[in-house]
Structure 1
């Protein structure tokens, strides 16, 4: 199609422009603030991640409305559509990427910078959701070491908008056909989400097929859903929509299977508020209040900047998760968002009608190419390793340790419901003549295996470990696979087999205390002579990172300041439970943190732990050796 000249562009804009609705900017506020507060860690916003789903509904509504109007007046142009997307997305996005890349090159370890480079390239090509999905796993790098993790949602949107204009153009302008297309996409995508959330939750979370229905819900509103002629009904539906969204924000948690059926609540709630907003309901008027609208207008920049602020506060400044730090992160994100909106977003939204589309798209491709080149250079350099001494690089290498392999993942350590557990290999004594030790628990039990493996000349060591849940006798009403695993192990398998010492270990919390006491008083478990092992010292970020930067900055106390305080309280409470039940108790806090200074080295040059709390092989040997006197005691 020939280039659209400025005068024609203004005419198209007038013919296809959707009337501005302040309540939709207000709805953006209801989307972005819960996301920010959830990511910062503010209590009461554990379900704040549903704000992304609200953004998807809003986006589907607005973009589909524009496309349908373009088609209706016969001026549908892919180049014009992508021109608008470029001017909307690229300026703020690539300014953020530039700043984050500079900081990353200063504060990241070599392997971290290589991973960052991959995410930079994937974000540039709007494929970061695919990359981050490929990086999921129990021992995958922590989310707070990935400053571009939040761009997965931008990738989902842009992938949708590569396909959506073509699909709408292919079926023509008949509204019935358009509605049939939207309905088909919604039904199929929702079915995919419901299926994947059970068999592959990470795929359901990150990938377009399980998210497209959320955008198509917004598209359905754009295709003709209008407010009722009964204002009382509009008011009721709008209030219901707001309550649905607020309920999801307040009541959902990380444990909520999501997306899928659970995502219907916030998505339909947002859809109700959009569909009734033109009727000037009370909810719409609240959303249209100037302060609410302002946050909505800066919501894109706020979304872009809030996550890097959180990541670098932890990664570069090693700040603790205190209320003051959390408030500072929110404030810093808001300030950066205002600056980005004023100096970056707004200039590219006004006064650009005279800019030729081929020039805009050409510059966009050039910027993308430059970003990919930078990403490739950082990766091919090996993460700029010359920034660190050889000793520091060796320590940093432990942060990349493969915990799955070290702890026998997929054999005796089951990582997730779809992973394998080989009972014939892991629950059968090697000789039958030596004392039998059974290690039971989650990953914080699995990390004892490498140490006890060095003592297999004296013991037959069995291992029953699984991620996510502690080794407790769960009520039969709790039918999750993980709870069944430990209930069957402790109440069915254990009474039928000889076990001379049962080691119960895990990443315990205060909420486990009642179940710990009930488990330790179970007669079958008592016969296995249980030893309760307390929580290991845990850090705000990976211990090798802390050790490298402690050396780099001449700050030997850095690892001690990064210890998480809640472990000590849990340890004391567990010791009291052990005393009440007459169970031997090993406090890893007391063992590894004499005089309140925790042991950080298993031996010279080898950290005790390779992430926030899991032991290296050498660290596991230190702990296993220290446990031997308790195991041998009668």
Structure 2
């Protein structure tokens, strides 16, 4: 293999082709991970950590060299970052918005506009931290999720040069110690908060800065004096990165201490790269590795939206062959962007003067923000869609109000704010206790209680089933605390006579644990569900409470408003419904527990009795989606569900054998 070696320089420092090769490793880890090309390839996210170390190293090397030569300029530094990052990003965002205008329903287009604004101002990491949650954005439908790492780097680029220049001016000999201290503080925050605030630790710059500072500290590290030392560093670097890739999964509590493997691995490879004859340096400096490394920024920008759009367009047909084809398309598009956008802006062929660059960037920013603001203000520009498509797409926002607050933290859950439901002048004898499906059904339950002259109180937590004594993996102790508090309220409050357990119950199939730090396998999770369902129902019944259970909703194969609207647009069937057989197979573990506990249960409510006819469980009824996503009840159907509750809950429990038709 040919090894690239030439004297090109970046920002005044000697060009190192091995670092472009390391960029290749990083971007391929991320891209292969996101396209799910290999079974078990769930750890490619560590590629971002490799990128952070590279960025910290290069930025510090550039600043130190220019400060030493007394020609460093903050304006010049930021202008170079702008020239390097902004043009390609503008092109990708424009293409994404164009696709959205043509293919997205209102709620999705509005969400995309918000993401574009957050990305343009390099606060996407903060936006996703605030919005990626159980009932906010979901990873598979976030069109610019990958830009969180660009925002972390850009925030670092804004603050770090100011600090480093001051340190180099007033305490140059202590600079490594000062940066080491800052890195240790950031790392300590990361360790302290990863268990209780994992999203914040993952997305925010203060808990990620240590990775960039680790790269920065490498600029003070001595070059390996012996060839063998460089060889060993290369071996160590490969072992550390490979260990992270092989050993980590989507359940790994990351970053935390686990981020040390990829960051130390990248650091070792950068140190080894100072020796041109080291085997790792020669491998990373080969022509293919360098070529892909130069494309890494454009490839990183385009791969995620192409993957998400293809997944939404093809649905269940997004097979391995299509994923490989889309990955190839990503390479083609990145080559075009690198050749016609990145290169001419970076070498100054386009807008060579800083003031022209700034004016062009400002004009583009204003135009982009104006367009996105219009999309947001009009709630997704429904007028661009045919009326029937716009009507169907509007159901994505058909959610209940937020009048009943969620118990989010362990402290809130220990003293949940119970929300009143039903008739205001009646005793609150019902305690409604559940997860996000209880939240989605709250208006139907409220209307049912009002219509039948009853009242109660309600508390919920997303993804937390109403089961006494269970934890949700990586969910902290909040779920356990809420269930403890609700059980205590149920058994100790004399006003409570009836308890309604409302949930999807699907958490039992692999999403329950005996502690927040442990992830059980499917068999153990199902066994825990059976034990704690029994314990919950029987404890309540033993204290004289009437127990009622909301059975699982059948759900749909995909996001109902989006898929149904897209099907209308294309003139094809939506293919959303599960068969009744599929529904029973998916929820068999629940019905086993339900039937076993019939002597302790006063009644159950069966959504499948309402939705499942002729062997299929409908996701659209009378032209209206049953769900605002793939499984949570749409608000507009509350009257229908209140009537069904009145019909079923006033009589004897419905035996499931009667429903199999």
TM-score range, shorter chain: 0.7 to 0.9
Q: CA deviation at 1:207?
A: 2.9
| Conserved 8 A contact 2:8-2:14 | no
Please state if 1:297 is matched with 2:294. Answer: yes
Partner of 1:614: 632
Distance in 2 (alpha carbons) for counterparts of 1:365 and 1:432? 59
Q: Does the Cα contact within 8 Å between 1:473 and 1:486 map onto a contact in 2?
A: no
Q: CA 1:563–1:419 in 2, change beyond 3 Å: closer, same or farther?
A: farther
Q: Kindly state the Cα deviation for residue 324 of structure 1 after the two structures are TM-superposed.
A: 4.0
TM-score of the two chains, using structure 1 as the length reference: 0.82
Partner of 2:627, secondary structure, is coil
1:453 is displaced (CA, Å) by 1.9
Alignment of 1:592 with 2:607, yes or no, is no
Q: 1:358, CA displacement in angstroms?
A: 4.1
Partner Cα distance (2:582, 2:281) in 1: 43
Partner of 2:522: none
Structure 2 equivalent of residue 6 of structure 1: none
1:121 maps to 2:121: no
- Provide structure 2 residue ranges, at least 5 long, that are not aligned to the other structure: 1-6, 511-524, 654-661
Kindly state the Cα deviation for residue 68 of structure 1 after the two structures are TM-superposed.
0.8
CA distance in 1, matches of 2:232, 2:269: 10
Please state whether the residue corresponding to 1:405 is helix, strand or coil. coil
Compared CA separation, residues 495 and 363, structure 1 to 2 (3 A):
closer
What is the match of residue 469 of structure 1? Answer: 464
CA distance in 2, matches of 1:373, 1:427: 42
Change (3 A) 1:486 1:79: closer
Deviations 1:607-633 (A, max 9, x none): 311122211234455456545536742
Query: What is the rounded CA distance, in whole Å, between the counterparts of 2:578 and 2:70 in structure 1?
Result: 61
Aligned to 2:527: 514
Output one character per residue of 1:503-540: Cα deviation in whole Å (capped at 9) or x when no partner: 35235153242222222443426656766655434446
**C-alpha separation between the residues in 1 aligned to 2:607 and 2:374?**
44
C-alpha spacing 1:567/1:451, structure 2 compared with 1 (3 Å): same
Please say if 1:545 is aligned against 2:562: yes
Structure-2 residue corresponding to 1:34: 29
Unaligned 5+ residue runs, structure 1?
Answer: 1-10
**SS, match of residue 66 in structure 1:** helix
Of 455, 458, 471, the residue aligned with 2:448 is: 455
Q: 1:310-350 CA distances to partner (integer Å, 9 max, x unpaired)?
A: 22224455455544444344333233223333443344455
Structure 1 position 450, deviation (Å): 2.5
Q: CA deviation at 1:108?
A: 2.3
**Partner deviation per Cα, 1:211-239 (whole Å, 9 max, x = no partner):** 222211111112x2135445555555544
1:570 corresponding residue in structure 2? 586
Secondary structure in 2 matching 1:48: coil
Q: Deviations over 1:472-523 (max 9, x none)?
A: 3446999941452366358766565665555352351532422222224434
**Structure 2 residue aligned with 1:131:** 127
CA displacement at 1:161 relative to structure 2:
1.4
Deviations 1:8-41 (A, max 9, x none): xxx995993223132x223223322332233334
Calculate the aligned-residue CA RMSD, in Å.
4.1
Change (3 A) 1:382 1:440: closer
What is the CA-CA distance between 1:70 and the residue it aligns to? 1.1
Distance between the aligned counterparts of 1:564 and 1:66, measured in 2?
Answer: 64
State the alpha-carbon separation in 2 of the partners of residues 370 and 476 from structure 1.
48
Partner of 1:153: 149
Secondary structure of the equivalent of 2:270?
helix
The answer to whether the aligner puts 1:46 opposite 2:42 as a matched pair is: yes
Q: Who is 2:177 aligned against? A: 180
Give the match for residue 66 of structure 1.
62
More off after superposition, 87-96 vs 311-320: 311-320
Is 1:444 equivalent to 2:445 in the alignment? no
Alpha-carbon distance between aligned partners in 2 of 1:241 and 1:574, rounded to the nearest angstrom: 48
Q: Which residue of 1 aligns with 2:484?
A: 488
Matched, 1:386 2:373: no
Query: 2:108 aligned to 112, 120, 126, which one?
Result: 112
SS in 1 for 2:65: helix
Change beyond 3 A, Cα 1:307–1:363 = same
CA positional deviation for 1:563: 10
Q: Secondary structure at the match of 2:587?
A: helix
- CA shift, 1:208, in A, is 2.4
List per-residue Cα deviations over 1:396-449 (Å, max 9, x = no partner).
33322455616x233xxx245465575573699999998965544421343333
DSSP-derived class of the 1:503 partner: strand
- Report the Cα distance in structure 1 between the residues aligned to 2:581 and 2:65, rounded to whole angstroms: 57
Shift of 1:71: 1.2
Contact 1:30/1:51, CA 8 A, preserved across alignment: yes
Q: Is the 8 A contact 1:226 1:276 kept in 2?
A: no
Q: Does 1:629 align with 2:648?
A: yes
Aligned residues: 616
Once the two structures are superposed, the pairs formed by residues 262-341 of structure 1 within 5 Å of their partners are 262-279=258-275, 281-316=278-313, 318=315, 320=317, 322-341=319-338
Is the CA contact 2:414–2:485 (under 8 Å) kept in the aligned structure 1?
Answer: no
